[in-house]
Amino acid sequence: MRIVVTGSAGLIGAALVRSLRADGHDIVRLVRHTPTAADEAEWDPRRGYVAPDALTGCEAVVHLAGAGVGDHRWSPAYKREIRDSRVLGTAAIATAVAEMERPPAVLVCGSAIGYYGDTGQRAVDESAPPGHGFLPSVCVEWEAAAAPAREAGVRTVFARTGLVVAAEGGAWGKLFPVFRAGIGGRLGNGRQYWSYISMHDEIAALRHLIVTPELSGPVNLTAPEPLTNREVTAAMGRVLRRPTLCAVPAPAMRLVLGEFAGDVLGSQRVLPARLLESGFVFRHPGIDESIRAALAGGR
């Protein structure tokens, strides 16, 4: 299968490309520079430009590009970057797909469980409405930007991803060194829910979305049983065999992270209802095995 991927330099995108190539798929990586490799094609999300032949003959497009939410403090300029990188990029890809004489069978767009906002102790699935605040508003615009592809009849799926348990990057990648050093602990009161997914299951789920024709619209990519931050902290200590006594108080997090601290301290109890209904089987449904898989390189 010929598959076009954006965001291939990111944590999830790079792992997806490796997985697909290992099974013999032909991958085209859209990049925001002059192509330097045979598998690259140029695009410019801000200008809405996609190289004319980049999508030719592809059977699927997986769009994962976007500025990292936790990479920088949320200044007004960086909040614009977070929003524009997602909304403009999705609009560019969706428009290019819609204008093709022979469009791909499916467009899988990255999204996030940030769509639901702070759900507290309440469990939510894909039927829940968007929450309130910056990240929910970004997710709403992000998904809406794919309208051209949907209206052209292309099956469009929104992969609402949770916290990916990976040692090499992302939010969890920042936790591992802290816990290994024995200075990890709960964040705030620790009662907030974290909806996580192992890297292996994240990639397997994305591939499941590509090949499962009955799936369209939002699909939550999270493990079946979200846990509280306190429970996740205990699991990290258990697997790494380190103490977890260094709790980080909420005021300190707000001082360091600014507005983003509200989302870190917020609770998201998100269930993968549609993924399970479609027959997807998790290899790492629990937190201990997800952490061990991350330490073993994502297997």
Amino acid present at 59: E
- What was the pLDDT predicted at 155? 98
- What was the pLDDT predicted at 68? 86
Give the domain 2-295 fold: Rossmann fold (3.40.50)
**d(Cα 268, Cα 263) in Å, to the nearest integer?**
9
- What was the pLDDT predicted at 249? 78
Walking along the chain (299 residues) 10 residues at a time, the average pLDDT comes out as 97 97 98 95 95 95 92 87 96 97 97 96 98 96 98 98 92 88 90 96 98 98 97 96 87 64 82 98 97 87
- What was the pLDDT predicted at 263? 63
Single out the residue of 51, 208, 86 nearest to residue 39, CA to CA. 51
Strands 26-31 and 40-44: parallel
